[in-house]
Structure 1
Amino acid sequence: MQSPIDSDRRFFGWTRVDDAEVVAPGERLSWPRTVGIGLQHVVAMFGATFLVPVLTGFPPATTLLFSGIGTILFLLITRNRLPSYLGSSFAIIAPVTAAAASDGQSSALGGIVVVGALLVLIGVIVHFAGTRWIDVVMPPIVTGTIVALIGLNLAPSAKDNFEKQPVTATVTLVLLIASIALFRGLLGRLAIVISVVLGYLFAFARGEVDTSGIDSAAWIGLPHFQSPTFAWSVIPTFLPVVLVLVVENIGHVKSVAMMTGTDYDDRIGRALAADGLATVLAGSGGGSATTTYAENIGVMAATKVYSTAAYWVAGIAAIVLGLCPKVGAVIAAIPAGVLGGVTTALYGLVGIIGVHIWVSNRVDFAKPINQFTAAIPLVIGIANFTWAIGGVSFGGIAIGAVAALLIYHVLWLCGRWLGTAGVTAT
């Protein structure tokens, strides 16, 4: 495999390989095969990427457009040697939903812009200072708790959609489980897409799909753009999302490094800044926040093709889809029952990702410091505690995230100073 330094000298000069078992980021297959791999990446990201705008009320075509633009921007900033697709972040759903309900959708876009700007700032700091300070401020018990409470905070939203069309929701959920059980490889990873498509057809047969918007939509045209506004009352709810995006991006870079055998630690800062800039751009035009996608890591793991050329194909394809209002109208017409069925699983999976962070980092729950760092914020997030002060309202995600940080660091400092049970097991 080529080192990133050597390959930087030939920014777009991929070396063609035809029979290699593993294709490095600076290499590519023939263009027909590269296009095929790129389209697999589109299919892999599509299910999760379009669900976020549908669930938050953003135009799906706009989000797809900015997803493609963000991916290309990411490749440019990381100097075309870090393979990644930037799709919609599920961590943004809860604060967007809360902000849109209280201050309108434009204020939610303002929150997304703030998230992106902070991520850019963190990326710049990491580029020059490294990631050690992140590990100190946000150890695995804290990051896992924040990720888990964001996912579980969304449970009432899944319940509301499920109850609107319970038969369709149940069928969709059963189809999702069946797809996971019956299919392997790429089809198994596309279980979300398969269940949504089949659930959509089932709902259509039951007369639950409103096709008026599909019929009137043009095949080619610009998506709907919207400008952000900034309301200080909603911005605190978005701040924990920054932590989640940091964790997701670092995890992605580490995963790619493990698969390719190349050390990409020097690119973590660039990756964070690139995702932040893509998020700022998306929020400024009406799209959803972006993040690096595990779904596309799955495609790389299955194909052993890590070529960034395939991601250029995927990014361009997403832009083309974003310029087709008909596709956006079809996505926007997904009925509540289908969304209720699939999000019952997806929101829970976001919570489980937090648990996975605990498990993979061997968090010791025999220690009171870990027990209470997780226990209290999870209840705050799941019950969606609220606290209004000075005209600014804080929701369960913001309160829970701050609680996780404060509880951990207060117990750690007191435990080290006084030798109490805050740190060691009783």
Structure 2
Amino acid sequence: MGQQRVIDVQEKMPILQGLPLSLQHLFAMFGATVLVPFLTGLNPAVALLSSGIGTLLYIFLTKGQIPGYLGSSFAFIGPIIAVAKAQGVGAALFGCFLSGIVYILVAAIVARFGVRWLQRLLPPVVVGSIVIVIGLGLASTAVKMASENLLVAFVALGIAVAASAFFRGFLGVIPVLIGIIGGYVFAALLGVVDFTKVGQAAWFSVPLFTAPQFSWAAVWMIAPVALVTIAEHIGHLLVTENIVGRNLMEKPGLHRSLLGDGVATAVAGLIGGPPTTTYGENIGVMAITRVYSVWVIGGAAVFAIAFAFIGKLNALISSIPVAVMGGITILLFGIIASAGLRMLVESGIDYSSKRNLIISSVILVIGVGGMVVHVGSLSVESMALATFVGILLNLILPDLKEETTESGSAFKPAP
């Protein structure tokens, strides 16, 4: 059998061939992208819309040279929930907008000075530990949601685990979506799904937009998380480089990729959506299909925008029982924590070094323990505080030269 033909980055395909491939990318990102607004209280339709618009902006700002789909970022779930609970959704959206501004500022600095300063600021011992905090810090949320109906939660979890472990090809890329659908069907058979709003919803419906509102809490609790997702972004770009066989860090350049993600995130915050990030799920689809065309990715973005205006679809998403999402997030948040652990292992972090041990230990306890520091009327909580402290310890503790030479780069490809 001959080798599968590669569709290059800027190559167009016949529309009848391209549409099914675009739908594959839509399905790959769909479950995770709507899960974030479901957990944080944002509007799933706006999340779909902002992911589609953000992806098109990303393709435009990277000159159509990087095939990447931007979906909702899980790293911001905890901080968004905390700020929204204390000061409202508008305040949380202000933090989302600011995280996009952080991306844009970092992109400008990278364009001027390169990336070495960022590698010194965020070595793998810091980034890996914070990624673990992102996953474990949400563990109690997953358990609480699952506890609403343990049977439904464990069925959804079991289906997602089975899909992840045993399915191959494209189905192996979308275990989250398969788990949500399977759990939803099981919950419907038990009679615990309320279809009332689905029946009442119109087929065409304009998403409900929410404007951001200024909040100092959002400045300190949400915006700093962008530093962690920037490291994730660079890891995804390196993986994409390996798949498509191009030096994307040089052309169109890391700064353009960061700029695209930053503008997309800022726009999402302005209209009521969560921050965006490049999706590993869609990178996996490209690796499987060997279709790297930005036109196919752009087609998926157009589908996402169209789906945002289907009222019955959005009502259907809202009718998913909390327990179903609870079961899915048990797996998902655990995978996030494990990805941080994998980053530490693959980067060769030596924990016989007291410096590494101290940095990881302090980050993990502050982040997972939910520590809060009050400065006047401001509060800096858990993950943002752990990020600040981790960066500070990395800068002030001795043996920095030994750390950078032995541990390697924080930006190794992550799953």
TM-score normalised by the chain length of structure 1: 0.91
CA 1:296 to 1:416, structure 2 compared with 1: closer, same or farther past 3 Å?
Answer: closer
Identity %: 37
CA distance in 2, matches of 1:197, 1:117: 36
CA offsets per residue over residues 171-230 of structure 1, 9 Å max, x none?
A: 111111122233111111111111110100111122222222212211112100010102
- What letter corresponds to residue 270 of structure 2 in structure 1? S
CA distance in 1, matches of 2:96, 2:15: 36
Correspondence for 1:302: 288
Correspondence for 1:245: 229
- What letter corresponds to residue 25 of structure 1 in structure 2? V
Local SS of the residue matching 1:234? helix
Matched, 1:277 2:227: no
Matched, 1:342 2:325: no
Correspondence for 2:145: 161
CA distance in 2, matches of 1:363, 1:379: 19
Pick aligned residue for 1:182 from 152, 163, 166: 166
Pick aligned residue for 1:264 from 241, 248, 253: 248
Correspondence for 1:16: none
CA distance in 2, matches of 1:309, 1:121: 28
- What letter corresponds to residue 328 of structure 1 in structure 2? N
Correspondence for 1:65: 49
Correspondence for 1:44: 28
Correspondence for 2:317: 331
Correspondence for 1:236: 220
CA distance in 1, matches of 2:390, 2:228: 13
Of residues 397-406 and 283-292 in structure 1, the stretch that sits farther from structure 2 once superposed is 397-406
Kept in 2: contact 1:124–1:270 (CA 8 A): no
Kept in 2: contact 1:59–1:332 (CA 8 A): no
Of residues 133-142 and 26-35 in structure 1, the stretch that sits farther from structure 2 once superposed is 26-35
Pick aligned residue for 1:393 from 349, 364, 379: 379
CA distance in 1, matches of 2:5, 2:126: 39
Correspondence for 2:91: 107
CA distance in 1, matches of 2:102, 2:224: 11
- Residue 161 of structure 1 and its aligned partner are, at CA, apart by 0.3
CA distance in 2, matches of 1:398, 1:248: 16
Of residues 373-382 and 92-101 in structure 1, the stretch that sits farther from structure 2 once superposed is 373-382
CA 1:27 to 1:165, structure 2 compared with 1: closer, same or farther past 3 Å?
Answer: same
- Residue 20 of structure 1 and its aligned partner are, at CA, apart by 6.7
Correspondence for 1:366: 352
Kept in 2: contact 1:234–1:393 (CA 8 A): no
Local SS of the residue matching 2:217? coil
Of residues 43-52 and 206-215 in structure 1, the stretch that sits farther from structure 2 once superposed is 206-215
CA distance in 1, matches of 2:179, 2:400: 51
- Residue 41 of structure 1 and its aligned partner are, at CA, apart by 0.5
CA distance in 1, matches of 2:111, 2:218: 29
Kept in 2: contact 1:66–1:282 (CA 8 A): yes
- Residue 416 of structure 1 and its aligned partner are, at CA, apart by 6.5
Pick aligned residue for 1:76 from 24, 35, 60: 60
- Give every structure 1 segment of 4 or more consecutive aligned residues whose post-TM-superposition deviation is greater than 6 Å: none
Matched, 1:313 2:299: yes
CA distance in 2, matches of 1:105, 1:344: 25
Of residues 24-33 and 130-139 in structure 1, the stretch that sits farther from structure 2 once superposed is 24-33
CA distance in 2, matches of 1:208, 1:388: 42
CA distance in 1, matches of 2:65, 2:155: 42
- Residue 239 of structure 1 and its aligned partner are, at CA, apart by 3.1
- What letter corresponds to residue 272 of structure 1 in structure 2? L
Kept in 2: contact 1:176–1:194 (CA 8 A): yes
- Residue 29 of structure 1 and its aligned partner are, at CA, apart by 3.1
CA distance in 2, matches of 1:362, 1:35: 42
Local SS of the residue matching 2:224? helix
- What letter corresponds to residue 238 of structure 2 in structure 1? K
- What letter corresponds to residue 312 of structure 2 in structure 1? K
Matched, 1:194 2:185: no
Kept in 2: contact 1:234–1:392 (CA 8 A): no
CA distance in 1, matches of 2:153, 2:224: 30
Of residues 283-292 and 346-355 in structure 1, the stretch that sits farther from structure 2 once superposed is 346-355
CA distance in 1, matches of 2:384, 2:279: 24
Correspondence for 1:5: none
Matched, 1:124 2:108: yes
CA distance in 2, matches of 1:159, 1:153: 12
Pick aligned residue for 2:203 from 215, 219, 237: 219
Pick aligned residue for 1:87 from 71, 75, 95: 71
CA offsets per residue over residues 147-186 of structure 1, 9 Å max, x none?
A: 2212211111111101111111111111111222331111
CA distance in 2, matches of 1:79, 1:189: 27
Local SS of the residue matching 2:147? helix
Gaps of 5+ in 1: 1-18
CA offsets per residue over residues 244-294 of structure 1, 9 Å max, x none?
A: 221122112111111122111132111111111111111111111100000
Local SS of the residue matching 1:369? helix
Kept in 2: contact 1:164–1:337 (CA 8 A): yes
CA offsets per residue over residues 40-88 of structure 1, 9 Å max, x none?
A: 1001111111111111111111110111000000000000110000000
Correspondence for 1:4: none
- What letter corresponds to residue 224 of structure 1 in structure 2? L
Matched, 1:207 2:191: yes
CA distance in 1, matches of 2:165, 2:47: 31
